[in-house]
Amino acid sequence: MRILFCAVPAHGHVLPMMPMARAAMSAGHEVSLLTHGALSGLVDPVPVLGVGPTFDELFATFSREAPEPRTALTTPEAIAEFFIDTRLTTTFDAALAAAAGYQPDLLIAEAADGVGPVVAAQLGVAWAQHSLGMAITAEFAAATTAAASRFHEAHGLHQSERIAYLDVCPVALQAEDWEPPADRIAVRPSPFDRETGWVPPAFEEPAKPTVLVTFGTMLDDMPLLRETLAGLADAKVNVLVTSMPDRPIPGLDESHGSVRDIGFVPLARVLPVVEAVVCAGGMGTILAVLANGLPFVGLPRFPSQRWITTRAAELGGGVVLDGPEGVAGALLSLLSADRYRRGAAAASAILSEMAEPDEALTKLLERIR
């Protein structure tokens, strides 16, 4: 079978689908990813059908079309305009042509991708939606649905019903009033992984606990990172800190001390060698941390990060702070109090009950046979 994955061209939109893509490849299916070609190295060995602008180019277009400069996606209307109007306008034609040439039997689109479902409908191909984590609120969902309907009507397009919702978020992390859709297939989230020559760096005092500081791939907040590292200076821990892809932390002196900038390394390689995590609380990071049974300190910057870190902390495996001022004390509590390790282990057990990607793939394919 030929399976085409579709995603907005950003790490946080592509990476959650890679376990399913690799499961499909391992099962002998032909797989490709429809997104911008710049992400080819990230998802290798999954082939990429490169179409459309980069994420930064999309945002520049989105901002130019507004009467005033835009710096963030904060309202339902802005979210809908960016992911539906801007992206479909700039990407749909090329995506449809590329997909038609590929001739997929099944299309899997991530939750924020408005292109894939319309492509599938025009080609008469079954499609499934892959979650990025917790479901968006009803207000945001209504705005994107309305924007999609307007775009489809204006351009003579139609969208078919999906056959499944592949959900990597456990029910325990969803809003209390959230109801699982009838077509939901739970998929155990897996930390991003790929072949790499990375070797954990040596520290002058290897007996000290090693912790990870990571703010993901969307939050580029150097002052926050520096304040966090400064706060950990007296915590008697060794620190591995990730940096944005191809953008090392400027001015970080690693010639001595207990901080190492490891660059962009798959979480699947880093998490097994640390005892706790300090993070902003992106969905992919939190799910990876919980899957590994690690306690965490959350420093959320965006509303979505605050929501997910708070829900995850309620499971007993972490704490959430408003800023980096108390990060050292919070981290030391995680490392010394058994209740956080027990909470993290309990959260990991919840995720372990979800289907592995290969099992979820089998369930999905049964719906189109």
Order across the sheet with 296-298: list the strands.
259-263, 238-242, 210-214, 276-279, 296-298, 318-320
Q: Are 132 and 12 in contact (CB under 8 A)?
A: yes
Q: pLDDT, tens digit, for every residue of 28-81?
A: 999 999 999 999 999 999 999 999 999 999 999 998 877 766 767 778 899 999
Higher confidence at residue 324 or residue 128? Answer: 128
Q: Which pLDDT belongs to residue 177?
A: 87
pTM of the model as a whole: 0.92
The Cα 347–Cα 318 span in angstroms is 10
pLDDT band at 104 (very low <50, low <70, confident <90, very high): very high
User: Which of 162-166, 189-193, 215-219, 262-266: highest mean pLDDT?
Assistant: 162-166
Instruction: List the structure tokens of 195.
Output: 């072949």
Q: Which helix (H) or strand (E) holds 103?
A: none
The Cα 64–Cα 56 span in angstroms is 12
Four-way CATH pick for 2-189+354-365: 3.40.1000.10, 3.40.50.720, 3.40.50.2000, 3.40.50.2300: 3.40.50.2000
Four-way CATH pick for 210-352: 2.40.10.480, 3.40.50.2000, 3.20.20.70, 3.20.20.140: 3.40.50.2000
Asked which of 82-91, 145-154, 215-224 is least confident by mean pLDDT, the reply is 215-224
Tell me which DSSP letter residue 356 carries: P
CA angle 312, 313, 316 (to 5 degrees): 105
| Sole residue written with tokens 């959320």 | 300
Higher confidence at residue 176 or residue 148? Answer: 148
Q: Which three-class secondary structure state does DSSP give residue 80?
A: helix
Question: What value does the mean pLDDT of the chain take?
Answer: 91
Q: Which residues are CB-neighbours of 18 under 8 A, at least 6 positions away?
A: 43, 46, 192
Cα 90 to the chain's mean position, in Å?
Answer: 23
Q: pLDDT, tens digit, for every residue of 319-365?
A: 999 999 999 999 999 999 999 999 999 999 999 999 999 999 999 99
pLDDT band at 99 (very low <50, low <70, confident <90, very high): very high
Tell me which DSSP letter residue 352 carries: H
Burial class of residue 153, CB neighbours in 10 A (0-12, 13-18, 19+): exposed
DSSP H stretches of helix in 155-236: 222-231
The Cα 259–Cα 241 span in angstroms is 7
Domains of the chain, residue spans:
2-189+354-365, 210-352
pLDDT band at 15 (very low <50, low <70, confident <90, very high): very high
